[in-house]
Chains A and B, each alone.
Chain A
Amino acid sequence: MTERPGDDLSSPLVPSDPTARATTAPGPAASDPTAADETVPGTAAVDAAVPRGAMLRADGVTLAYGSTVVVHDVALAVGDGGVGLIGESGSGKTTLARALLGLLRPHSGTIRYGSRDLGSLDRKGRAEFRRAVQPVFQDGSEALDPRMTVEASISEALTTHHRMDRAARRARVTSLLEDVGLDPAVAVRKPHQMSGGQRQRVAIARALAVEPRLLVLDEPTSALDVTVQARILDLLERLAAEHGLGYLLITHNLGVVDRLCDTSHVLFAGRVVESGSTRDLLTRPAHPYTLALRDAVPRLGGKPPRPSGRTEAAPAASGCPFRLRCPLATDVCRDQPPAAREVEGRRVACHRAEEVLAGVPNRPVSR
């Protein structure tokens, strides 16, 4: 593990109880059944998932481009530790991420930072929000200005909120680069002179430069080679623990959330179809979509799941949006959109969740 000369600079924004955080540090082992028992009162899974006051939360958020609704009535919260948001392309996850970052106004519903609505933040509140919540996007080459050197990019982050003289800035850039496992000599490079993994590390360093409390990670590794992915995930895991960061990890790959998130939400066609502890979702999915996602994750020597030919069917406009892809769909699914309900410690929107949990073998659609 590298020395982190930047530690003494850590701002008062970062809550200073590392011991308390250590117990909630992300890691599958931490989310055992006992923890789940404690955190599931009768309220929504969202409240259960974030016991100590969420820093960023969405309630009933609907997002639309013109008249096209892409996110329907989504609730989620991010505080300490990692929260996963799993969805495929077209699920609305990136739109939701943009709204959580304050780049997009919700059509209805609220997004709150602490106790305040993002839409009603004053100038000062907004600056504070900007410092506290930072994104890491899919592709480091997109997130970095192609005309700026690494040093200029990170310096921009450093000087946006504070005055800083040249020497202090230099020192801080060096320490940030070391922190993300880069040779400080890359400071003079431009994005196109680096590999994809290096660029993503720079993007992370830049996000950390403002000493945020929470990261919104939008597919941070999916553009990278598998081995590089693993290293970036290691890095994120370590940094989150060291800096006491909360994070929302958005991805289509369940293997990624399993490592980094205690709680996860599964998004399909703009709706959260299942949320609960990541471990539960992976070992015993209650929604057929979660099941399909999990079985699709390739594992060493495993066989690919039986192809259905329907994995790319468009979401249904009526009834359950997943029904055209669902091997369990029945008439109920066609007629009634399933409401989210509490089933065995997670929240799931499926008429047949109990059967999925019981392991009903997939059978062809009865139509």
Chain B
Amino acid sequence: MSGTMIRIRDLAVRMGDRVIASVPELDVVAGECVAIVGESGSGKTTTLLATLGLIEGADISGNIAIDGVDVLSAPLAELRRIRGSRVALVMQSPQAALNPTMRLGTLMRRALARHGVKGAEARSRAADAVTAVLLEPAILRRYPHQVSGGQAQRFAIALAIALGAEVVLADEPTSALDVTVQAEVVAVLRRLRDERGLAVLLVSHDLALVSTIADRVVVMKDGAVVESGPAADVFARPGDAYTRELIAAVPQLPDRLAAEPAEDKK
């Protein structure tokens, strides 16, 4: 599974005569994280939703393929199948997307049953997925309102993994969370990418956060891509004034390494 999981060519989303997002080229291969960075209104979320064919009332042109399936021309049933099992969509507030009257375990079991996975196989898949996102299996006995934001976020990812998702689309997955929880969610995404070869498309306004996980970065402003490239290059040699502004906005902390030599050993 080393193919191109997401492939976007000449994407343009128009609302009336205004282009709200335009992306000439974007590929995400398995085991890679690509981040779209920009402020609200930059078109980053539009691009992500367009990738899943989730935009209504706009004029979309170009080519989008997820795992080889052309999103813009695929029949609805095919799209549903992709959304249901190949792609995990992680939103800002996952709690809203979880049925509040069901325990998380029940939610997981039903979702698996819909894909024909039952019994022992379902149990082992659920346990495996929950462990993969560093949750205790005991969490499956809780209701959505009994878990915290980060836990709900990780459960949403686990749910997708259990269903066999190989692509994660994450829309500001951490903006509503505390810094420590943010870091944990990102670390979990990172692990999944490294250990399970997931392709991750991450959308965020937080450049520093993105820089801790992204292999490649696409910077968007006012609906257009202003810069893109390998993350290290973009951060080291930002070619665009706006990218430089984003970088300058990252709060600088005193260097912990200087003060604490023992810290990063283990």
Contacts and interface: CB of A to CB of B under 8 A. Distances in A.
* Interface of chain B: mostly helix, strand, loop or mixed: helix
A295 interface: yes
B235 A301 contact: yes
Interface stretch (B62-70, B91-99, B247-255): B247-255
Interface string B193-211: 0000000000001111101
A311 B211 contact: no
B266 interface: yes
A255 B251 contact: yes
Given A259-B251, A359-B262, A89 B178 contact: yes
A304 B251 contact: no
B253 A258 contact: yes
Contact of B262 (A88, A282, A361): A361
Nearest to A280: B259
A200 to B, nearest CB: 14
Interface string A1-39: 000000000000000000000000000100000000000
* Interface of chain A: mostly helix, strand, loop or mixed: loop
B51 to A, nearest CB: 22
A252 interface: yes
Interface in A282-296: 282-284, 292-296
Query: Most chain-B CB neighbours within 10 Å: which of A279, A307, A359?
Result: A307
B256 A298 contact: no
A283 B254 contact: yes
Contact of A296 (B179, B211, B258, B261): B179
B180 A296 contact: yes
A228 B150 CA distance: 25
A300 B208 contact: yes
A270 B158 CA distance: 32
Contact of B184 (A282, A294, A302, A307): A307
A309 interface: yes
Given A226-B206, A295-B183, A311-B184, A300 B247 contact: yes
A284 B260 contact: yes
Interface in B106-127: none
A205 B40 CA distance: 24
B60 to A, nearest CB: 25
Nearest to A252: B178
B37 to A, nearest CB: 9
Interface in A80-108: 88-89
A283 to B, nearest CB: 4
A304 B186 contact: yes
Query: What is the size category of the interface that chain B forms with chain A?
Result: 35 or more
Given A89-B178, A258-B253, A298 B245 contact: no
A335 interface: no
B195 to A, nearest CB: 12
Given A258-B253, A279-B254, A304 B187 contact: yes
Nearest to A278: B254
A219 to B, nearest CB: 11
A303 B212 contact: yes
Contacts of B207: 226, 300
Interface in A219-266: 225-230, 252-256, 258-259
Contacts of B245: 227
Contact of A312 (B40, B181, B260): B181
Nearest to A230: B249
B213 interface: yes
Nearest to B187: A307
Contacts of A229: 249
B19 interface: no
B191 interface: yes
Given A225-B40, A227-B39, A304 B260 contact: no
B266 A359 contact: no
B135 interface: yes
A183 B122 CA distance: 60
Interface string A353-364: 000001111110
B237 interface: no
A185 interface: no
A279 B258 CA distance: 13
B266 to A, nearest CB: 4
A284 B259 contact: yes
Contacts of B252: 255, 258, 299
Given A228-B39, A283-B254, 20 more contacts: A89-B178, A227-B249, A253-B179, A256-B251, A282-B253, A292-B180, A298-B179, A298-B206, A298-B209, A298-B212, A299-B208, A300-B235, A304-B186, A304-B212, A305-B187, A307-B188, A311-B184, A312-B148, A359-B260, A363-B266
Interface of A: 28, 88-89, 196, 225-230, 252-256, 258-259, 279, 282-284, 292-309, 311-312, 358-363
